[in-house]
Amino acid sequence: MVSQGQKIIDGYSNEVDKIINDLPLVMFGDHTRNVKLIDFPFVIGADGTKFFKPILSNARFIYYIVLYIASKLRNRGYARHYTLLKDEIFPLPPLAEQKRIVEKIEQLFKEIDKLKK
pLDDT in tens, 58-72: 999 999 999 999 988
Burial class of residue 17 in the structure, from the number of CB atoms within 10 Å of its CB (0-12 exposed, 13-18 middle, 19+ buried): exposed
Judged against a pLDDT cut of 80, whether residue 47 lies above it is answered with: no
Q: What's the whole-model pTM score?
A: 0.86
Q: Under 8 Å CB-to-CB from 99, ≥6 apart: which residues?
A: 58, 61
Strand, coil or helix: what is 107?
Answer: helix
pLDDT in the model for residue 86: 83
